[in-house]
Amino acid sequence: MQVMTDTPKPTVSGTAPPGIACDIFCAVIDNFGDIGVCWRLARQLAHEHGWQVRLFVDDLHAFTKLCPSLDATHVKQSVEGIVVEHWHEPAHAGETLEIADVVIEAFACELPPVYVTGMAQRAQRPVWLNLEYLSAEDWVADFHLRPSPHPRYPLVKRFFFPGLVPRTGGVVKERDLDAQRAAFEQSPQAHAAWWQRATGGPPPAPGATVISLFAYENPALDSLLAQWRDNASPVVLLVPQGRVSGAVARFFGLPAFEAGAHATRGNLHVHGLAFTEQRGYDPLLWASDLNFVRGEDSFVRAQWAARPFVWHIYPQADDAHLPKLDAALAHYARPLSAQARAALERFWHAWNGNGTPDWADFARHLPEFKARAASWATELAQAGDLAGNLAVFAKTQLK
């Protein structure tokens, strides 16, 4: 190895440590989705596959929201057996230039030029993967693992596409996730303890509809809050601290709606929850009857929760996100009755800016949505999990 100087000359040490070494580069573009997926993937590769993982992240402060044990003031540290390095700038490649067996550039970030040079000089070329954003569109299966030769070096980068169907990369899922969910669902004590920790009180009475709300700012929220207020039966809304907290506060005429806040109007009862570290998010989904989720990471976790959900997809210019929304709906809603499928499509589109959400129209189909959520989780598993699929492919390339 060689310590980097102003003009580093990449070298590779002679003897590789046991196990597969993997470097993941992550630029936090917006919110927590990028680092959320990368942190889950890093943990799974390390803990379930025995890889030696190093994670480069350019925004440690955002990372600490998901991993409170991380110290944002440290340039390099070990967290849960994973080396985390602060990625200072695009040209930075760590305090010591080390080239891994498997190199993952996440979500179109670019590797440091000195690192790419080091990859080309390595005796055994690394497996170089560009981890793409999740999409349910049909073309994903055709482009998954396609090669892209480097224009100057004898290196080949492959595009690794997460997806919802076989022949794609699948999505992140830990081996024990289903067992954890089953244990929570089968334990009234665990359920009650979660409600006490999260809200300071017991679970709601039978007959209430429990909804978690994790979303981007959304002009449709005011109408939906009013509909829940006027609903015939109680609606209990759980709002993690975040980008919609201000809208909830305005609806109730409050200056803010922080963690620990409570408010009631009509049949709507709202609890403000603290922003949870990553592992704490799943029990929120399991405790709810319906989950509003956003972006990629929470979208995936909602599917594994086997509960009905509403997806607020990350908005893009010229409505480029809407075909991705429709592609996910096409897979998810396929076996629903015509009436339920139409209600789901109308509600998802309204929540994503096209119309006003009609809660009564949506809620009457909740039993069918619940059954579909359970069958979909089983169907989704047929694509395999992202870390497992990635590990299998990498090993075939390293032989």
Note the pLDDT tens digit of each residue in 71-100: 999 999 999 999 999 998 888 888 789 999
Q: What is the rounded average pLDDT for all residues in the chain?
A: 92
Residues 6 or more apart in contact with residue 58 via CB below 8 angstroms? 26, 27, 28, 86, 87, 88
What are the tokens at 337? 């009755």
pLDDT given for residue 11 in this prediction? 37
Burial of 205: CB neighbours in 10 Å, binned 0-12, 13-18, 19+? exposed
| pLDDT of 304 strictly over 70 | yes
| pLDDT of 348 strictly over 80 | yes
φ, ψ (nearest 5 deg) of residue 217: -55, 140
How does DSSP assign 263-279, residue by residue? EEETTEEEEEEPPPPGG
**Residue 5's pLDDT band (cuts 50, 70, 90):** very low
- 309 contacts 303 by C-beta, under 8 angstroms: yes
* Burial 316-355, CB ≥16 within 10 A → b, else e: eeeeeebebbebbbeebbeebeeebbebbbbbbbbbbeee
pTM (predicted TM-score):
0.92
Q: CB count, 10 Å around CB of 187?
A: 12
pLDDT, average across residues 370-374: 98
* Cα-based distances in Å from 279 to 28, 68, 107, 181, 270: 19, 11, 22, 12, 23
| pLDDT of 291 strictly over 80 | yes
Strands 235-240, 290-294: parallel, antiparallel or unpaired by DSSP? Answer: unpaired
- 3-state SS assignment for residue 237: strand
| pLDDT of 231 strictly over 70 | yes
- 105 contacts 158 by C-beta, under 8 angstroms: no
* The listed CATH number (3.40.50.620, 3.40.50.300, 3.40.50.2000, 3.40.50.720) that belongs to domain 177-382: 3.40.50.2000
**Residue 8's pLDDT band (cuts 50, 70, 90):** very low
Burial of 306: CB neighbours in 10 Å, binned 0-12, 13-18, 19+? buried
pLDDT given for residue 7 in this prediction? 33
- 96 contacts 118 by C-beta, under 8 angstroms: no
How far is residue 29's CA from residue 14's CA, in Å, rounded to a whole number?
36
pLDDT, average across residues 353-361: 95
Q: Which residue has better confidence, 224 or 30?
A: 224
pLDDT digits (tens, 9 = 90+) for 125-145: 999 999 999 999 999 999 999
pLDDT digits (tens, 9 = 90+) for 31-76: 677 899 999 999 999 999 999 999 999 999 889 989 999 999 999 9
**Residue 277's pLDDT band (cuts 50, 70, 90):** confident
Least confident of 53-67, 307-321, 351-365: 307-321
Q: Where are the alpha helices (DSSP H) in 288-385?
A: 297-304, 322-332, 338-351, 359-363, 366-380
Question: Where are the domains positioned within the chain?
Answer: 2-172+384-398, 177-382
pLDDT given for residue 30 in this prediction? 64
Task: Report, as residue numbers or ranges, the catalytic residues.
Answer: 34, 296
Strands 147-149, 156-160: parallel, antiparallel or unpaired by DSSP? Answer: antiparallel
pLDDT given for residue 18 in this prediction? 60
pLDDT digits (tens, 9 = 90+) for 17-29: 468 999 999 998 7
